[in-house]
Structure 1
Amino acid sequence: MSSIKQVQVTFDCAEPERLARFWCEVLGYVVPPPPEGFTSWAEYDRTLPPERQGAGFVCRDPEGQGPRLYFQRVPEGKVVKNRVHLDVRVGTGLVGEERVAALEAECARLVELGAQRVRLLVADEYDESCLVMQDIEGNEFCLD
């Protein structure tokens, strides 16, 4: 029996489908097919009790390498900084100005999708540069 466990990352949010589709664009993830017998997730959603409609949405790595992302509607809004965040690896293997240029280029793409740039953390003697951002609901993540 394998001791390796699969991981799902769960986001509490206001608009699960909207946030899931944002992260699909960020990561190259896809929305899985709807359950058997349904032509769309919207059709499936309409079969749920009213209080469950739109309450959750999923996206996944099309190659099955990365974790599944689950987005669940919660009544409260985001109040404080995340204790856990995603690092989106766009500058792997790059250093100095070349790394910052790659981070800034990806930042510009994500801002077009509705993300917000927070700040660039410039390389020091221990860490390479990374760029702190927020998704469309204010969840922090880093481009690194």
Structure 2
Amino acid sequence: MSDVKQVQVTFDCADPREVAQFWKGALGYVDPPVPAGFDSWDAFDASLPEEHRGRAWACQDPDGVGPRLFFQRVPESKSVKNRLHLDVRVGVGLTGGERVTALETEADRLVSLGARRLHLLPADGVDESCLVMQDVEGNEFCLD
């Protein structure tokens, strides 16, 4: 039997730092500790060969509970719907109008960080409402 391993969620993107900044604000995440020998991530980035500068960024749950998020620059742009997405759990335990209000309130906050609201999936008698959104580079996620 194998031991459970930590999970990192990786995003392909054009601007890793910008996307990381959004997710830090969305989730309350922080930058990982700066590598030894550097006083900032900017100093570390400046030490890399020019072609590697700005190619990656990461953020993590300050309490170590949630997965680390890693953002890597790729040359191609997003072209289709995500096959995997994050559900940001803001309406846990809420139903009906109270849940929709919580989702809409969080959506407004995330829009101010650069997200885009797509559409509300209303409760259908089996699943509760959720709100489909996109981050600053168009990656879909749900407020659930």
- TM-score (normalizing by structure 1): 0.98
The letter for the 1-side match of 2:106 is: E
User: Tell me, which stretches of 5 or more residues in structure 2 are unaligned?
Assistant: none
Could you tell me how far apart the structure 1 residues matched to 2:36 and 2:18 are?
23
Q: Tell me the number of residue pairs that the alignment of Structure 1 and Structure 2 aligns.
A: 144
Show the counterpart of 1:24: 24
Looking at structure 2, the residues matched to 31 and 126 of structure 1 have their Cα atoms a distance apart, in angstroms, of 38
Residue in 2 that maps onto 1:136: 136
Measured in 2, the distance between the counterparts of 1:2 and 1:105 equals 41
Q: Gaps spanning 5+ residues in structure 1: where?
A: none
**d(CA) in 2 for partners of 1:139, 1:54:** 19
Q: Return structure 1 stretches of 4+ with deviation > 6 angstroms.
A: none
Secondary structure, counterpart of 1:12 in structure 2:
strand
What SS does structure 1 have at the residue aligned with 2:24?
Answer: helix
SS at match of 1:120: strand
Identity of aligned residues (%): 67
Match status 1:46 vs 2:46: yes
1:31, 1:45 → 2: CA distance? Answer: 14
After TM superposition, give the deviation of residue 33 of structure 1 in Å: 2.1
- Secondary structure of 2:57's match? strand
Aligned pairs for 1:102-117 (under 5 A) are 102-117=102-117
RMSD over aligned CA atoms reads 0.9
CA–CA distance in 1 between the matches of 2:23 and 2:126? 29
